[in-house]
């Protein structure tokens, strides 16, 4: 464990050095992200000129949700997305051989090797938005609530990581030419909104149930955000989110290893 932490820290440092070699590119990428957040906020602001509530989320609570989503997305993009995106390439070129030869866990090496520092500011921007939303809503400091939020946020990130790994492994079989970026973006549409918007209508309600409990992608941001700005009324939902994070992590590891077993180093 200690060895992996040390290894990860040196990989992080190495990635940062690589990024700093192209500082202009780094700055442009950050600028694009800030722009994207600004447009999201303008959209949000425009919506709340028309209504005081979206389901039972008021403007500050909804703003907090957006911050939580942005921070979560930033965290996953910084740590894992670029790595998983390259997995298909590693297989196609046969370069995965070099990963398998090393005396290190393959899943660690494939999914954590590169840290995309240019996405890290997203995490901070998300934190900033969350902080602003709490400040304007007159939130009173409550350490146990912060602790619960951090724990649920981490469990949400673990859940998202598990889904990303599942999608990465599945992409080997399903979509050889598709970029994982787009798949992930489309899939994470489901964690971008409060799950209450899925609570009306003939098909939306079952879909909402399905993506909350069977494939619990909606819980990734909903559970931590709810914990912080509302009291998480059915507290079993928090436990359910924690439990499903563990299950999805185990299942995704199993599927990933199954995908590796099918690898035959076909190139060269």
Partner 1 sequence: MTQGLRKYLKILRISLVERLAYRADFFLTTFLRFLPLITTFLLWEAIYRGSGTDQIAGFTRDSMIAYLLLVQISRMFSSMPGLSTGIARDIRDGNLKKYLLQPIDMLWYLLSYRGAHKIAYIATTALPYGVLFLLFHEVFTLPSAWTWVAYIVSLLLAFLIGFFFEACIGVAGFWILEVTSLMYIINIVNFFISGQMFPLDLLERYPYVLDVLNVLPFHYLAYFPAMVFLEKKQGTELLVGLLIEALWALALILLSRWMYRLGLRHYSAYGG
Cβ-contact 114, 80 below 8 angstroms:
no
With CA atoms as reference, report the closest residue to 224 among 23, 15, 61, 39. Answer: 61
- Three-class secondary structure of residue 250 per DSSP: helix
For position 105 contacting partner 1 by CB under 8 A, the verdict is no
For position 52 contacting partner 1 by CB under 8 A, the verdict is yes
Among 16, 22, 55, 250, binds partner 1 (CB under 8 A): 55
Count CB-CB contacts under 10 A for residue 73: 24
- Rounded (to 5) percent helix, strand, coil in the chain: 80, 0, 20
Give the bridge partners for 57, in sequence order: 54
Shortest Cβ 248–partner 1 spacing (Å): 20
CB of 80 or CB of 198, closer to partner 1: 198
**What is the DSSP-derived secondary structure letter of residue 22?**
T
Shortest Cβ 71–partner 1 spacing (Å): 19
Shortest Cβ 51–partner 1 spacing (Å): 4
CB of 35 or CB of 246, closer to partner 1: 35
Instruction: Say how far apart CA 216 and CA 213 lie, in whole Å.
Output: 5
Among 200, 230, 257, 262, binds partner 1 (CB under 8 A): 200
For position 202 contacting partner 1 by CB under 8 A, the verdict is no
Task: Please report, as residue ranges, which positions from 16 to 35 form the binding site for partner 1 (by CB under 8 A).
Answer: 25, 28-29, 31-32, 35
Shortest Cβ 161–partner 1 spacing (Å): 20
CB of 98 or CB of 213, closer to partner 1: 213
CB of 66 or CB of 110, closer to partner 1: 66
Helix (H) or strand (E) holding 197: none
- For 159, list phi and psi in degrees, rounded to 5: -60, -45
Among 10, 21, 46, 103, binds partner 1 (CB under 8 A): 46
Task: Please report, as residue ranges, which positions from 147 to 186 form the binding site for partner 1 (by CB under 8 A).
Answer: 174-175, 177-178, 182-183, 186
Give 101's Cβ-side CA count (13 Å radius): 6
Shortest Cβ 63–partner 1 spacing (Å): 15
Burial of residue 67 (number of CB atoms within 10 Å: 0-12, 13-18, 19+): buried
Cβ-contact 241, 72 below 8 angstroms:
no
Q: What is the binding site for partner 1 (CB under 8 A)?
A: 25, 28-29, 31-32, 35-36, 39, 42-43, 46-47, 49-55, 174-175, 177-178, 182-183, 186-187, 189-190, 192-193, 196-198, 200-201, 204
């Amino acid at each position: 464990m200690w060895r992996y932490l040390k290894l990860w820290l040196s990989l992080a440092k190495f990635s940062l050095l690589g990024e700093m070699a192209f500082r202009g590119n780094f700055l442009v990428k950050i600028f694009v992200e800030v722009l994207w957040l600004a447009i999201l906020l303008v959209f949000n602001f425009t919506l709340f000129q028309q209504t005081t509530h979206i389901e039972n989320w008021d403007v500050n609570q909804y703003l907090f949700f957006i911050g939580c989503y942005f921070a979560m997305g930033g965290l996953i993009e910084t740590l894992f997305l670029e790595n998983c995106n390259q997995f298909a390439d590693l297989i196609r070129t046969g370069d995965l051989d070099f990963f398998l030869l090393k005396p290190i866990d393959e899943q660690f090496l494939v999914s954590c090797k590169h840290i995309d520092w240019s996405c890290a500011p997203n995490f901070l921007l998300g934190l900033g938005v969350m902080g602003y939303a709490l400040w304007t809503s007159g939130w009173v400091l409550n350490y146990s609530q912060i602790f619960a939020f951090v724990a649920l946020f981490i469990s949400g990130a673990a859940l998202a990581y598990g889904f990303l790994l599942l999608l990465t492994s599945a992409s080997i079989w399903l979509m050889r030419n598709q970029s994982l970026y787009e798949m992930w973006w489309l899939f994470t549409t489901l964690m971008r909104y409060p799950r209450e918007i899925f609570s009306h209508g003939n098909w939306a309600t079952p879909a909402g149930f399905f993506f909350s409990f069977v494939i619990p992608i909606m819980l990734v941001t909903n559970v931590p955000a709810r914990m912080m700005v509302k009291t998480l009324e059915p507290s079993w939902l928090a436990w359910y989110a924690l439990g499903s994070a563990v299950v999805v992590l185990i299942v995704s590891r199993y599927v990933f290893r199954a995908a590796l077993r099918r690898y035959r180093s076909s190139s060269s």
